[in-house]
Structure 1
Amino acid sequence: MNRYKLIAILLCAPFFVFSQEDEEKKDYGKLSGGIESNSQYYVDDAKTGDFEQEDPFRSNNYLRLNYNYKNWFAHVQLESYEPNAILNFYPKYKGTDIGTFAVGYKNSKIEATLGHFYEQFGSGLILRSWEDRQLGINNSIRGANIKYRPTNDLEFSALYGRQRDGFEVSDGSIYGFNAEIGLSSLFKFESTGLDLGLSYVGRDEDLDIDNPDFESLTNSFSARLDFTEGNIYSSIEYVMKGEDVYSELGNIIDDRYFDGSAILFNIGYAKSGLGIDATFRRMENMAFFSERDESANVFNQNYINFIPALTKQHDYGLTNIFVYQSQPRLTFNPLFKSGEIGGQVDIFYNVKKGTKLGGKYGTKLAFNFSTWSGLKGDFNTNDRTYEDTDLFGFGDKYFEEFSLDIKKKWSPKWSSIVSVVNTYYNARFVEDRTGEVNATALVGEVTRKFNGGKSIRAELSHLFSDDKTTERAKNWAGGTLEYNFSSRLSVFATDIWNYGNPDEDRQVHYYAFGGSFTKGATRVMASYGRQRGGLVCVGGICRFVPENTGFTLNVSTSF
């Protein structure tokens, strides 16, 4: 009960402050918040299998309250996973409890938070705490976070805390310091933007290890530079991760120590009708956890840093079957991998109106190329160690993809999208299973608008694949039909079919149908159907979802 008393005191602290103010002002601050409920009821299905776990009904629920009074703020988030969390969420999300809470003070120069907070240094390569309920991620830090802005061009941050782990916190402590320096103003540049960032993150976790060389504290440092000039922009970031004990499949190997590093470079050009963006990243042993033995967890928990897959994020079911996940970890079992190297290029071009290709309304083209490989190095399989890797050496290819999207408006009521995606997917390194896959997806989408906010959208897709696995073998076909009665009410039906699978029992229609209704800040969505087993990805971070069939209900509102 002491914890709940402390939370109550923290949440009430702003009230004690303004209770001494002149009552005639009657400024009681502002209370806001939101409610979100995501529920599923699983049923037996001859194709996707019987539901053999307990509690076919499962629900994830969130209530968040925010209070602001002048420069003071407070929040609390209550979470309930009853009777259990949705399938394949982190097992520690169980029951009902307070998930996060905090109080703080903010003005133009100082911001201080006590309790749970989210933070990011630079791109997140060294530190990012964040929440995504669809993926089941909330790695907020519970402790103290202070920001100081002496001028508009300087910001300094310091933090200490422990990362959220279910309804508890991790054993490892996190220390952080960050500085953002606007060099343009300091050097009085008129048209050039130049910003410098410097960061430090330490993770301190004491382990029961006999090795006298063991250090509980692991230090990481980051330096980055952002540059803009006219239509050109670029950034570069380097991260150095200190030497740390090696963890293999969740087991600490106390006589193996390795350091890590990362390089992230981005350059782009943008003007009216044309955009070019290129990103390069090299990571070596950059998985950084608040608890070392969580290095093999599949729930994206206890990550201190943010290392998404830098590939195109697709919108269609068949273009998301062979999805790449970033490979930052050092591992000797079952394969020898020390990280990844690669990048992607995006080109966006608007064909002008009135030209042969542009037509009356113009045409939008979007091209993406991404390629990722392992680091080139000498691995010693017997001693489970490796020599220095080549800085820009490309080892085994993990993933490569070309895609082209053509968006065309034909009239005020008709528009279409055509997408082509060609993928190479090395399942041996990405999933630790045998096989290399070559696949090509073709997608066609058309939308017809009617008066009164009504519209209908139809999509047809096909995937040509040489995958030989039982679950995803050979070719697929898919389609979606969506009708919007208005901006508030819509219904849909969708299906993807593994018709090319040589196993007739695996030629499954993964269908779903449902609808959504929105009024003001409230949205209700319901559906019934089959979920294909595989990865659900948001922003390059993925969660594995097992094959299942059932009803889904999502309700959210804010106030």
Structure 2
Amino acid sequence: MKKIACLISLCAMAVSAQEKTNPFSVFGGLESNSTWYMNDPGLNVVHPDPAIRSNNYLFVNGKYKGWTAGIQVESYEDKALLNYNPRYIDTDVATYYVQYKNDMIDITAGYFYEQFGSGLLLRSWEDRQLGINNALRGGRIVFTPWNWLQIKGLYGRQRTGFTVADSDIYGTDLELGLGDIFGFTTTELSIGGSYVGRDQKVLTIPDPNFRDRTDAYAARINFGHGGFYASGEYDYKSDDAVVEKQDQVRNNFVKPGQALLVNMGYTKKGFGIDGTFRRLENMSFYSEREAAKNAFNDRIINYIPGLTKQQHYNLANIYVYQAQPGVAMPDYTVLKAGEIGGQVDIFYNFKKGSKLGGKHGTKIALNYSEWHALSGDYYLPAKDYNVDFLAFGKKYFSEYNVEIDKRWTDRWHTMFAYIHQYNNLKLVQETYDIVNADIVAAETTIKFGKSRSIRVVGEHIWADADKKNWAAGTVEFNVNPKLSFYTNDMWNYGNDDPDARNHYYNFGTAFRYKSIRAALNYGRQRGGLVCVGGVCRFVPESSGLSLSVNAAF
């Protein structure tokens, strides 16, 4: 804990430096997330050793004219929070960089983040809730000689824990604004292309049937006119070893990969429709082949979120869908080489003063998503497959949602949601069961005075398999913009096992003062997938007291 206190002291020193009058500017922040894990006989949970764990991040940046430099120090004391990457341990410098930028050129040396196109080939980013930081350590150049042309080039090694992966990542990306070239005033049109190379020698295979370097290419187009927009991207990954399980690189299963992503929609005031189609085939891509399908999203090069509605209700996130970009052929019941499917979103605002809109208007949102395995021929003994391009195989997942958002008065607001989910857990998570679930949720928010409010949420799920029925409730009380309290509970009352009909309760408070936010929580964590932006990680069941502190300067 002394190291954590040291980080706080460094943060205070940085704030003090900011207050001095000089041509430099200093900015950054401190984030600390700590948990005291406790024994919980009701969940059959025994606290880990050590019981008190903390993830801490101090990042400080300095800027002078076109120059920016920064450093991030991370501390995991005595260990990282449960089910974070075990490579996060102790206290050390995590990332650092120096950047120079003007209107034409942007040069970075050190650690950097980047995304090409949709991210299907390359995206480096940080998400502390998921424990992801796959920054590249090396160099990047972004050259923009005209407003219609941008060229990127990069080289680096990917972060894993406090070191880097044993491979080289190369990349280049070009974006050409045809609308600007031809002087279009009401139409947007651009094309782009990307190349990403991953060079890694597999020492466990003396004479591999695949090259050390894997080449990946992408082409994309974006179009927009009035309220209509459309985009498309095609990606190809050269022949490479198919890794079905972590640390199992085989020499007799080598296949290429490809992806197709199409998005289009139309919006105008009060109405919008958006549709996305995606097909993935063998598109798992890691800086080290052995890291494929690890539980921590460690050393992942590309970004493949689950394209379904991002639910904000607790029970709607029990049977969440995880994208299926890779190959798995463990037995005859699970044969998959990717996914195919999509989703459609529609929203409509009933005008104020109309019958359905009322005095304050009414909003309705509809969403439908459906995902399947790739249809084709799978040869289990020979470890091979031949899939069709646009044919749908066994269904992984489907979901439809209806949300009604209604404001009755200036102080009273309600929402209602109905959700139906189908999840083939046998294929998606390679566990068991097919689950059909119906979920209803209703919430109301009432304001008192200028800033005081109370929010109440009720939820229920009817599921025909797995853990069966749940009920949930939440109450939030905002005393003012600085102070709030909450309590919630999820009760698995319908579990076939009477001893597993558990309550997952939590209660806590949050406080803000200027740029500082502190939150304290006591309760239980339901085991399962936790997803942020469609990317998921597994968390075990646990009980304890948690403290979170965020400060920016």
Q: In structure 1, what is the equivalent of residue 378 of structure 2? A: 379
| Rounded Cα–Cα distance in structure 2 between residues aligned with 1:124 and 1:391 | 21
- After TM superposition, give the deviation of residue 52 of structure 1 in Å: 4.6
Q: In structure 1, what is the equivalent of residue 7 of structure 2? A: none
| Rounded Cα–Cα distance in structure 2 between residues aligned with 1:395 and 1:484 | 49
SS in 1 for 2:180: helix
> What RMSD, in angstroms, separates the aligned Cα atoms of the two structures?
1.0
Among 100, 104, 116, the alignment partner of 2:99 is 104
| Preserved CA contact (<8 Å) 1:418 1:444 | yes
| Rounded Cα–Cα distance in structure 1 between residues aligned with 2:209 and 2:50 | 48
Does structure 1 residue 493 correspond to structure 2 residue 487? yes
Structure 1: 5+ residue runs without aligned partners?
1-25
| Preserved CA contact (<8 Å) 2:151 2:175 | yes
Q: In structure 2, what is the equivalent of residue 266 of structure 1? A: 263
| Rounded Cα–Cα distance in structure 1 between residues aligned with 2:108 and 2:472 | 49
Among 523, 527, 534, the alignment partner of 1:529 is 523
Among 124, 132, 138, the alignment partner of 1:129 is 124
- After TM superposition, give the deviation of residue 27 of structure 1 in Å: 4.7
CA 1:501–1:67 in 2, change beyond 3 Å: closer, same or farther?
same
Q: In structure 2, what is the equivalent of residue 513 of structure 1? A: 507
Using the TM superposition, name which of 26-35 and 483-492 deviates more: 26-35
Structure 2: 5+ residue runs without aligned partners?
1-20
String of CA shifts for 1:155-210, please: whole Å, max 9, x gaps. 10000000000000001110000001100121222321101111000000011223
| Rounded Cα–Cα distance in structure 2 between residues aligned with 1:544 and 1:59 | 18
TM-score, normalisation: structure 1: 0.94
SS in 2 for 1:185: helix
Q: In structure 2, what is the equivalent of residue 162 of structure 1? A: 157
| Preserved CA contact (<8 Å) 1:482 1:492 | yes
String of CA shifts for 1:53-98, please: whole Å, max 9, x gaps. 2111000000000111001110100000000000000010011001
- After TM superposition, give the deviation of residue 226 of structure 1 in Å: 0.3
Does structure 1 residue 113 correspond to structure 2 residue 111? no
| Counterpart AA for 2:359 | K
Q: In structure 2, what is the equivalent of residue 7 of structure 1? A: none
Q: In structure 2, what is the equivalent of residue 219 of structure 1? A: 215
SS in 1 for 2:388: coil
Does structure 1 residue 552 correspond to structure 2 residue 546? yes
1:390-409, aligned counterparts within 5 Å?
Answer: 390-409=388-407
| Counterpart AA for 1:214 | F
| Rounded Cα–Cα distance in structure 2 between residues aligned with 1:214 and 1:530 | 47
Q: In structure 1, what is the equivalent of residue 224 of structure 2? A: 228
Q: In structure 1, what is the equivalent of residue 436 of structure 2? A: 438
Among 416, 424, 428, the alignment partner of 2:414 is 416
Among 41, 48, 57, the alignment partner of 1:46 is 41
Aligned residues with identical type, % of pairs: 49
| Rounded Cα–Cα distance in structure 1 between residues aligned with 2:122 and 2:23 | 36
| Rounded Cα–Cα distance in structure 2 between residues aligned with 1:185 and 1:210 | 52
| Rounded Cα–Cα distance in structure 2 between residues aligned with 1:393 and 1:444 | 38
| Preserved CA contact (<8 Å) 1:211 1:255 | no
| Rounded Cα–Cα distance in structure 1 between residues aligned with 2:44 and 2:156 | 44
| Preserved CA contact (<8 Å) 2:37 2:48 | no
Q: In structure 2, what is the equivalent of residue 252 of structure 1? A: 249
SS in 2 for 1:324: coil
| Rounded Cα–Cα distance in structure 1 between residues aligned with 2:208 and 2:454 | 68
String of CA shifts for 1:375-432, please: whole Å, max 9, x gaps. 0010001101112x11110001000000011000000111100000000010101111
| Rounded Cα–Cα distance in structure 1 between residues aligned with 2:38 and 2:250 | 43
| Rounded Cα–Cα distance in structure 2 between residues aligned with 1:412 and 1:373 | 44
SS in 2 for 1:428: helix
| Rounded Cα–Cα distance in structure 2 between residues aligned with 1:407 and 1:64 | 39
4+ runs deviating over 6 angstroms = none
| Rounded Cα–Cα distance in structure 2 between residues aligned with 1:367 and 1:121 | 30
String of CA shifts for 1:296-326, please: whole Å, max 9, x gaps. 2011111110000000011111111100000
| Rounded Cα–Cα distance in structure 2 between residues aligned with 1:269 and 1:459 | 32
Q: In structure 2, what is the equivalent of residue 448 of structure 1? A: 446
| Counterpart AA for 2:382 | D
Q: In structure 2, what is the equivalent of residue 275 of structure 1? A: 272
Does structure 1 residue 145 correspond to structure 2 residue 140? yes
Q: In structure 2, what is the equivalent of residue 479 of structure 1? A: 473
String of CA shifts for 1:480-501, please: whole Å, max 9, x gaps. 0110000110000000100111
SS in 1 for 2:290: helix
| Preserved CA contact (<8 Å) 1:49 1:548 | no
Does structure 1 residue 299 correspond to structure 2 residue 318? no
String of CA shifts for 1:454-505, please: whole Å, max 9, x gaps. 00000111100011x3xxx211101001100001100000001001112111
- After TM superposition, give the deviation of residue 245 of structure 1 in Å: 1.4
SS in 1 for 2:450: helix
| Counterpart AA for 1:524 | A
- After TM superposition, give the deviation of residue 212 of structure 1 in Å: 5.4
TM-score, normalisation: structure 2: 0.95
String of CA shifts for 1:488-530, please: whole Å, max 9, x gaps. 1000000010011121111111000001001111000001001
| Rounded Cα–Cα distance in structure 2 between residues aligned with 1:234 and 1:106 | 31
Q: In structure 1, what is the equivalent of residue 9 of structure 2? A: none
